Structure 1
């Protein structure tokens, strides 16, 4: 993959705590030293899609850098699925789930080098009730955790830890029917994870067999967990009782909630309560700049 000649930087001005002007200036200096043309677009949450599509059509960049959290990355990825370009990610959010799974550096200077580098990775996407998913989505326990954290008053790791305890104390079972390419089954569950990636942004590994570019996704169904098993799951333990954890691989699936609506989140965005989730893999949807795997 050659180095880029034209670069579009899409930046969320309110994501994270980094100095956005300094970040933009660093990338401007790099563009001058490396001889590539640079366009900068700051999101405003109103007309971003139309504005970015116009830049893509007029400027025709061969690299798009996205500086923001998972929500911004997801939004731009949904636009870029219709273009032949490489995405470079500069994670500025609190969770940064996709960046964690791709092994991207947390240092912003190193991140810029990777985002503009020559090493790339194919990334599948998931279509989930019409929403694009790139790493992990779920029904039940973790969706409640996302909801509680969004509604809580404490940010950061302490706020997250507080909501883990709160969420574990109020989790409940729900009954579902799951239909995939190869099987149909009914079960009770406390969490159902639809996994393209292996771990949450916190580093919790819940899908150790996941591969983000194999044309499949996994459905991880956990049932009848007591407090200890739930804590082990959220801590990333792989030593779980096989009688209460079922993992299925699929290219498409439908999850029907049989007795109640269930809380649902996609890539860290809480989407409310649903009766069903329809999931479909979108193979090799994006090309992402990543670190050199051999270095």
Structure 2
């Protein structure tokens, strides 16, 4: 039986290279003000998913709040999926792409206000092999950028910008076969994005068709770097040159890298090299508090 007066806060202490003490103090003050019993869990990187599942089972909170980046948010969503729990996000990562898609405020005070509010939406997730993605995952260029960023010394958007030059010099296109219920595409690709949402945390709208509640995800297949097509992204234009960019809205897809293993990331977490991924929509996966 889930308690209306219990809240669990999950904190990733190292996300975004930011001190979380202010978030902890302000969430504790708001929980006391609203007469909630607050429990706090700090991730360690060791079996966090199962630890959170056990906490939710034992504590029976009515809402679970997350202070971390997109990877932490997706992990906690997986932990509470199927439970009578609403889900609040306090942006505290390096890029905070999910928060941008939900229109969540940047300030701690305003995001806590939303997290203790009552306005919520049901959102889908995408199962990619054994991982859960709420936001944006990809194979190719951006996954290599995530890998380089994780091994770099600078955090935040500046860190991504610094690593981009290195990534562009290292990356090579790859041959890919994509199978969906709409047919088979074989092409050379710079990146294949599995997009449940619209924006990367840098603010770039990579998927103008994205809707996290529509029961589908998009495949964005970028075949080469093209500054005109990139400008179309930034201005919201949805008429693209299909020799440069392809979009598919699907419920399932199989993506095979034909010539070699390719870099792969899920919601900002580098996962390694892959030859094949299979993706499937999971409808109404979790309930998220929004402005």
- Indicate whether the TM-score tops 0.5: yes
Aligned to 2:55: 55
Q: Residues of 1 paired with 2:61 and 2:73: CA distance? A: 17
SS in structure 1 at match of 2:207? coil
CA apart distance, 1:18: 4.9
Contact kept? 1:9, 1:41, Cα under 8 Å: yes
Unaligned runs of 5+ in 1: none
Contact kept? 1:10, 1:65, Cα under 8 Å: yes
CA apart distance, 1:183: 1.3
Aligned to 2:242: 242
Deviation readout 1:17-43 (Å, 9 max, x if unpaired):
554333223222222221222222222
TM-score, normalising length from structure 2? 0.91
Contact kept? 2:50, 2:79, Cα under 8 Å: no
Q: Residues of 2 paired with 1:4 and 1:242: CA distance? A: 51
CA apart distance, 1:84: 1.8
Deviation readout 1:90-124 (Å, 9 max, x if unpaired):
11110111111111111001110101101001110
Aligned to 2:160: 160
Unaligned runs of 5+ in 2: none
Q: Residues of 2 paired with 1:236 and 1:5: CA distance? A: 44
TM-score, normalising length from structure 1? 0.90
CA apart distance, 1:135: 0.7
SS in structure 2 at match of 1:194? strand
SS in structure 1 at match of 2:61? coil
Alignment of 1:195-274 (within 5 A): 195-225=195-225, 228=227, 232=231, 238=237, 240-274=240-274
Contact kept? 2:94, 2:157, Cα under 8 Å: no
Query: Structure 1's 230 and 105: CA in aligned 2 closer, same or farther, altered over 3 A?
Result: same
Please say if 1:277 is aligned against 2:277: yes
CA apart distance, 1:149: 1.8
Q: Residues of 1 paired with 2:54 and 2:119: CA distance? A: 27
Aligned to 1:95: 95
Aligned to 1:23: 23
Contact kept? 1:204, 1:236, Cα under 8 Å: no
SS in structure 2 at match of 1:246? strand
Q: Residues of 2 paired with 1:224 and 1:19: CA distance? A: 39
Deviation readout 1:154-212 (Å, 9 max, x if unpaired):
33333322222222233322111111122112111111111100110111111001110
Q: Residues of 2 paired with 1:125 and 1:102: CA distance? A: 14
Aligned to 2:139: 139
* Aligned residues between the structures: 288
Aligned to 1:117: 117
CA apart distance, 1:231: 6.1
Query: Structure 1's 51 and 145: CA in aligned 2 closer, same or farther, altered over 3 A?
Result: closer
Contact kept? 1:4, 1:116, Cα under 8 Å: no
